[in-house]
């Protein structure tokens, strides 16, 4: 079994970006298994050593990542978006060393910068964002630029398959924290990723709103559910650029309430307090 695996999920619509992502994996100084998942496609890649998984239909972000880590062999599983790439050849080795040194470390989330090196602050998983180079414990992470201990994926079951797009990493993060695991933001390690405003992503507002309601109903103590949804709903208005966006947002909320949730497992109040002490209570 290798120390590290990198899972890249692609829909086959960004071949040039995918090639750059793969190149950034192959120049890593640490040995790594590469897994490329074709989510509803058969990816064409120039890498004979890669493990290629072809899925007949698009299972969404969560489903694709779950299929990828299920065939990965690494003790630490990295997830990299197909339009992202590692900022240096030492990222994988550095992260693997952190997992080896800290047994309670469950997830490492890396800093996101754009092609010009500017920090994408919306992807910093903490409220205080002045020192973007910090290394600190946080309450969530970005799924396309992270690493997760394999045993944690096996223990939790990985990402929620019913989250086609958006908040799949938050669902996993809350379960990890409730089991006592640590999530570390590694501001000293960069992943280069373009930034696209949410209102320009097809279906993003609706999917995010739907998943947010399901997330709250599944994992929050009931007294926190309305508070969380009201706060996040108001914040989501910042992504609205017109009537169509507003319809998508409220449509997503409506779908989230009508979705049947059969696996409700609310996090403990001790976890709520721990998240609060880390600077982000589960109402923000």
The answer on 211 and 98 residing in a single domain is no
b/e 97-119 (16+ beta carbons within 10 angstroms → b): ebbeeeeebbbbbbbbbeeeeeb
d(CA 231, CA 216) in angstroms, rounded, equals 12
- 224 and 99 in one domain? no
Q: Are residues 24 and 124 in the same domain?
A: yes
Q: Which residue range forms the structural domain that includes residue 250?
A: 198-267
Pair (180, 238) in one structural domain: no
In total, how many domains does the chain have? Answer: 2
In a domain, 275, yes or no: no
Alpha carbon distance 228, 239 (integer Å): 17
Q: What are the φ/ψ torsions at residue 108 (nearest 5 degrees)?
A: -120, 125
Work out the angle between the directed axes of helices 225-236 and 204-219 (0-180°, nearest 10). Answer: 160
- Cβ–Cβ contacts within 10 Å for residue 89, how many? 14
Does any domain span residue 282? no
Helix, strand, or coil (residue 187): strand
Q: Each residue's pLDDT tens digit in the chain (284 positions)?
A: 469 999 999 998 899 999 999 999 999 999 999 999 999 999 989 899 999 999 999 999 999 999 999 999 999 999 999 999 999 999 999 999 999 999 999 999 999 998 888 887 777 777 766 777 888 999 999 999 999 999 999 999 999 999 999 999 999 999 999 999 999 999 999 999 987 654 455 588 999 999 999 999 999 999 999 999 999 999 888 888 888 889 999 999 999 999 999 999 999 999 999 999 998 999 98
What angle do the packed helices 168-178 and 60-71 form, to 10 degrees?
60
Is 280 among the domain residues?
A: no
Same domain? For 68 and 186 the reply is yes
Domain final residue pick, 145, 177, 192: 192
3-state secondary structure of 125: coil
Q: Does this model's pTM top 0.85? A: yes
Instruction: Report the distance separating Cα 137 and Cα 47, nearest Å.
Output: 36
What is the spatial distance between Cα 215 and Cα 252, in angstroms, rounded to a whole number? 13
Q: What is the C-alpha to C-alpha distance for residues 203 and 27, in angstroms, rounded to an integer?
A: 35
């Amino acid at each position: 079994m290798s120390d590290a695996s990198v899972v890249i999920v692609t829909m086959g619509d960004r071949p040039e970006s995918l090639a750059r992502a793969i190149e950034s994996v192959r120049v890593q100084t640490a040995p790594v298994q590469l897994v490329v998942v074709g989510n509803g496609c058969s990816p064409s890649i120039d890498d004979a050593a890669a493990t290629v998984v072809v899925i007949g239909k698009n299972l969404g972000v969560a489903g694709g990542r779950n299929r990828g880590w299920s065939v990965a062999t690494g003790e630490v599983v990295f997830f990299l978006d197909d339009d992202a790439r590692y900022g240096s050849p030492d990222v994988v080795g550095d992260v693997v060393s952190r997992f080896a040194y800290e047994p309670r470390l469950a997830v490492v989330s890396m800093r996101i910068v754009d092609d010009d090196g500017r920090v994408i602050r919306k992807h910093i998983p903490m409220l205080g964002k002045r020192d973007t180079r910090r290394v600190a414990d946080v309450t969530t992470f970005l799924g396309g630029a992270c690493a997760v201990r394999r045993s944690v994926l096996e223990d939790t079951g990985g990402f929620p398959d019913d989250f086609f797009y958006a908040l799949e990493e938050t669902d996993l993060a809350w379960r990890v924290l409730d089991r006592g695991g640590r999530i570390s933001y590694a501001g000293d390690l960069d992943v280069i990723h373009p930034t696209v405003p949410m209102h320009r992503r097809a279906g993003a507002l609706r999917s995010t709103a739907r998943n947010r309601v399901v997330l709250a109903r599944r994992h929050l103590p009931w007294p926190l559910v309305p508070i969380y949804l009201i706060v996040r709903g108001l914040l989501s208005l910042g992504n609205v650029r017109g009537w169509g966006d507003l319809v998508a947002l409220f449509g997503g909320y409506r779908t989230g309430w009508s979705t049947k949730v059969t696996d409700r497992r609310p996090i403990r109040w001790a976890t709520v307090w721990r998240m609060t002490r880390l600077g982000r209570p589960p109402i923000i």
